[in-house]
Amino acid sequence: MGLFDKIVKDVSNEMQKAVNKAVEKEAEKKVDEAVEKAKTEYEEEISSARAEAESATKDIDAGIKEASDEWKKAADDLNSSLEEAKKAMAEADEAMSKISKEDWEKANSTLERMALDALKDKHICPKCDEAFKGEFCPKCGGKLSEKTALEMGLCPKCGKQEMPGTEFCTACGAKLPYKEFLEEVQVGKDREVLDRFRRELPQFPVWECGGSSFDLSELEEGRYIFGAWFDGDEAAAQKSVKDYQECLKRNGFVQAGKYPDDEHLYKMIDGVCYHADTEHVFEGDADSPSVYFLKGDEPPGGFDYVKPEPAKKSSKGFGSLFR
């Protein structure tokens, strides 16, 4: 390398160093400026956040104080109300202590007469169980009772007038017209349930095995439950189930499937299997049997299941193997 070339190279190196140094200085300056700017912005944000926090704290303190004042006022109002109630009760007790037994009886007698007078021309709605004037119920449109509510409480045996809604005479124990009215209403309701039974479950024999307060509910499409009530007579309830099983069999229902028994009886009609289930009949109360009726429900193994004959043992001995 010649001297000139060496000098050029040295100058170039020095110039490069100077440029690098200048660049480094400028970079440091930019970094310092950025750091300073970020620091300033950070301090401003911190200051703003601190101010907001202080403001929120003041609002919370004010809210707590307001709530505390309202709670104190409510507590004071409650205590005041309790004191007034105590005072009123004390005054009532004092007033009641001054009323004689004769005055009480007189007052009660007056109230009873007023209540009876208000019902002397009113009739009872069998559906709403309320008394109204006229021939038809203003609530449901149903026909009202022939007897008035007052006549419903008149004992046919001893003539004592009981308050409407009483079922038996308190003097002689006789059944009052109101009780007979309730029984007639229930008979009508049971008749409606059995009519619905005939319409919606014509493939099954209608229930004619006793009880009352009948109920028929469709649990889902093709699945019904029928219930009857025997008023505590568990023996009669159990007998009714046996009687209905016999009624089913007289009407063509039979045991079927792999596990035949009388608790599950079936009948095939036009290719559809109808199933009467009395297995779970007393899962509720012992005096209230419930029978399930299912459409399109075949037994395990199918309606036409036939138990296979046991395999016959071979009568040939070992000698036949060697013939």
pLDDT recorded at residue 60: 79
Task: Report the C-alpha gap between 238 and 225 in whole angstroms.
Answer: 17
- The two tokens of residue 103 are 């005055």
Question: CA angle, corner 274, sides to 272 and 280, nearest 5?
Answer: 150
HSE value, Cβ hemisphere, 13 Å, CA-based, for 32: 6
| Other Cβ atoms closer than 10 A to 23 | 10
DSSP secondary structure code for residue 53 in this structure: H
pLDDT recorded at residue 66: 78
Task: Report the C-alpha gap between 122 and 151 in whole angstroms.
Answer: 10
Walk along the chain (323 residues) in steps of 10 and give the mean pLDDT of each run. 52 62 69 74 77 78 78 82 81 68 59 63 83 86 85 89 87 91 90 96 96 95 95 95 97 96 96 96 92 96 88 58 48
pLDDT recorded at residue 30: 73
pLDDT recorded at residue 107: 53
DSSP secondary structure code for residue 155 in this structure: -
Task: Report whether 225 contacts 200 (CB < 8 A).
Answer: no
Task: Report the C-alpha gap between 212 and 191 in whole angstroms.
Answer: 10
pLDDT recorded at residue 246: 97
Task: Report the C-alpha gap between 128 and 142 in whole angstroms.
Answer: 9
Task: Report the C-alpha gap between 88 and 66 in whole angstroms.
Answer: 33
Of 223, 116, 123, the residue nearest 160 (C-alpha): 116
Burial zone of 132 (CB within 10 Å; 0-12 exposed, 13-18 middle, 19+ buried): middle
- The two tokens of residue 63 are 């809210």
- Would you list the domain boundaries of the chain? 125-192, 201-295
pLDDT recorded at residue 103: 59
Task: Report whether 81 contacts 126 (CB < 8 A).
Answer: no
